[in-house]
Structures are given as C-alpha cells and as structure tokens.
C-alpha cells in the first residue's frame, strides 16, 4: 500500500482491499452444498458459516498488517482495542440467511469510525456475487461501483407515509411490546410492507432503486449491522437515526432509515405517539 497517499485515500484503499479479500473467500463458498453452518446460541435467526469466519479472519489479518494502531469491532471474533481511537467495524456476511439459501442479497459491511467522537468516517457494502460495491465517505457523495449514486427521492418533500414501502429484515426483530406496536402501526399506514433483505435494503434505499420511497424500520441490531451503512445513506441524501431521531451510537439497537426527510419526520411522529 502506497505511503504517498492522503490519509483518507489510504483508508479507502484499505477498505477496498478488505472488500476484495473477503469477497474472494465468500465466492468460494456461495451455493456450495453441505456447507457447515451453525445457529448462534440464543439467537433464533442468526446463522454463522465457515465463510463468515474465514472472511472475517482475512480482513482482521490485513488490518493488523496495514493499520496496526486501529482497533477492530467484529461480529464473529473477539474485538481488538485501538491505540488511535479509530475502529474498523466488520460484518463479513450481513444476511447469512440469504447466503445459505443461495440468494445474492447479502453483503460484507466494512466501517471505519472515530469512536472517541462517534464519527463514522467511511463505510463499504460489498456484494461479491453481483460485483456491486457501495462506498460512503463522511461529508461526501456516496458511490456505487465508482459512480455517484442518484437517490431520486432525496429532495422530495411531498412524500407521504401512505405512499412509502416499509421494509424490515424480519418481524422477529421486534421483541418488545412497544416495538411490535410501532411496527404494526407503520405497516398499517404504508402502502407496502416487505420483509427480508438485511443490508441490501439500505443500499437499495441509497441507490433509489425502489419503485416508491422507502422506510427501513429495524430493531435488535448491533453496531456492526449499521456502522458502515451510516455514511452510505447520508451521502445519498437519505436519513438514518435511532427511533427517537437521535444520532446512532455503538449502543443503538433500533434503526430507522428513510429516503426523504419528510418521511422520516412523519414516521417519528407516529413512533412518538405510541
């Protein structure tokens, strides 16, 4: 890795290399029969495979080589403390349930965050089967396969909840009574409700691929589930916060993302009423 690059370019270069090396491993295991998979203890819908584990280990090894002062927050293994205040936040396969079914709507999430200031610096979502990659950089436009994304809904202040598609990975993620009430209320208001998708929902929202504006409502999440996604959504003109409208922090578990600010405001009003 060149030492003549600007520090931000070095970070982007490393993130791209992490996506490349993890993608190579994941492609080897995709749609392979009799792949070893386990359900995580106490987590009904959370699956881990050898592909998750090997892809994460390869990324960790690369970070320790090229950014040894940075820490690592990871899904499958032990976290590694930081000496720089920065952490790489890794989810090797977000959407393992899709991966084990042979559906290419999962992604590798690679985030870089200044944890002392809670600033997500950059995020990558890599879909290694379809050769799709999103890059979000704090304060800059989001890129999809090296081209700026165009979210056609970003400046639409006329959007209404009744016209939106409400998306959640699974209804099982709404655990508390209040979460279930909120999900049910928004499902009743929005014109469409769709389940499944994991991180692919967020990049579809950022890319403006949905036939209507999107609202993503999720709970029971971990930091590695959304850290990389924050700059991607924001760089595409979307909004992503917790259910109270606050900036997401590592301890957040409830996430809402919207194509437009008006949808976000309307959704928060409905949430606050419960």
From the list 183, 194, 225, 209, the residue with the least C-alpha distance to 95 is 225
| Residue 249 CB burial class (10 angstroms; 0-12, 13-18, ≥19) | exposed
69 is in an annotated binding site: no
pLDDT one-digit tens code per residue, 237-270: 999 999 999 999 999 999 999 999 999 999 999 9
Q: What distance in Å separates the CA atoms of residue 23 and residue 129, rounded to the nearest whole number?
A: 8
State the SS3 of 141-188. Answer: CCEECCEECCCCCCCCCCCCHHHCEEEECCHHHCCCHHHHHHHHHHHH
Environment class of residue 44 by beta-carbon count within 10 Å: exposed (0-12), middle (13-18) or buried (19+)?
exposed
Task: Flag whether 198 is marked binding.
Answer: no
* Residue 114 assigned as binding residue: no
Other beta carbons less than 10 A from residue 137's beta carbon:
22
pTM for the model:
0.93
| Distance in angstroms (rounded) separating the CA atoms of residues 112 and 124 | 9
The residues of the chain that CATH labels 3.30.540.10 are 7-148
pLDDT in tens, 157-212: 888 999 999 999 999 999 999 999 999 999 999 999 999 999 999 999 999 999 99
Query: Are the C-beta atoms of residues 105 and 94 closer than 8 Å to each other?
Result: no
Is 70 labelled a binding residue? no
Strands (E), the chain: 37-39, 47-49, 71-74, 86-94, 107-114, 119-127, 132-137, 143-144, 147-148, 165-168, 192-195, 214-218, 239-241, 255-258
pLDDT, tens digit, 9 for 90 and up, residues 234-243:
999 999 999 9
106: closest CA among 115, 114, 95, 117?
Answer: 95
The whole-number pLDDT of residue 39 equals 57
Nearest residue to 244 via CA among 211, 274, 206: 274
DSSP bridge pairs for 217 = 256
Q: How confident is the model at residue 43 (pLDDT cuts 50, 70, 90)?
A: very low
Residue 44 predicted with pLDDT over 50:
no
C-alpha distances (whole Å) from 128 to each of 11, 19, 38 are 20, 8, 22
Say whether 52 counts as a known binding-site residue.
no
Question: Which residues, in sequence order, are CB contacts of 51 under 8 Å at separation 6+?
Answer: 25, 26, 28, 29, 30, 35, 92, 93, 99
Q: Which CATH architecture has domain 161-272?
A: 3-Layer(aba) Sandwich (3.40)
Q: Using 50, 70 and 90 to split pLDDT, how confident is the model at 89?
A: very high
Second CATH level (architecture) for the domain 7-148? 2-Layer Sandwich (3.30)
How confident is residue 5, by pLDDT bands cut at 50, 70 and 90?
low
Residues of the chain with CATH 3.40.190.80: 161-272
Mean of per-residue pLDDT scores for the chain = 93
Based on the number of CB atoms within 10 Å of its own CB, is 16 exposed (0-12), middle (13-18) or buried (19 or more)?
middle
């Amino acid at each position: 890795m060149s030492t003549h690059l600007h520090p931000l370019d070095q970070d982007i270069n490393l993130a791209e290399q992490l996506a490349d090396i993890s993608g190579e491993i994941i492609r080897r295991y995709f749609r392979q029969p009799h792949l070893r998979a386990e359900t995580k203890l106490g987590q009904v819908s959370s699956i881990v495979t050898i592909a998750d584990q090997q892809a994460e280990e390869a990324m960790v090894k690369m970070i320790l080589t090229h950014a040894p002062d940075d820490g690592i927050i990871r899904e499958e293994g032990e976290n590694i403390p930081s000496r720089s205040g920065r952490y790489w936040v890794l989810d090797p396969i977000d959407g393992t349930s899709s991966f084990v079914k042979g559906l290419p709507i999962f992604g590798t999430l690679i985030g870089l965050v200044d944890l002392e200031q809670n600033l997500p610096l950059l995020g990558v979502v890599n879909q290694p089967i379809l050769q799709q990659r999103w890059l979000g950089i704090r304060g800059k436009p989001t890129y999809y396969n090296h081209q700026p994304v165009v979210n056609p809904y970003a400046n639409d202040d006329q959007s209404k909840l009744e016209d939106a598609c409400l998306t959640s990975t699974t209804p099982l993620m709404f655990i508390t009574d209040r979460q279930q009430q909120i999900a049910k209320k928004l499902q009743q208001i929005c014109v469409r409700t769709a389940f499944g998708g994991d991180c692919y929902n967020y990049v579809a929202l950022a890319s403006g691929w949905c036939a209507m504006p999107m609202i993503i409502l999720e709970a029971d999440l971990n930091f590695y589930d959304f850290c990389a996604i924050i700059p991607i959504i924001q760089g595409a003109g979307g909004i992503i916060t917790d259910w109270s409208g606050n900036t997401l922090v590592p301890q957040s578990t409830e996430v809402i993302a919207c194509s437009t600010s008006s949808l976000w405001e309307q959704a928060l009003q409905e949430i606050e009423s419960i």
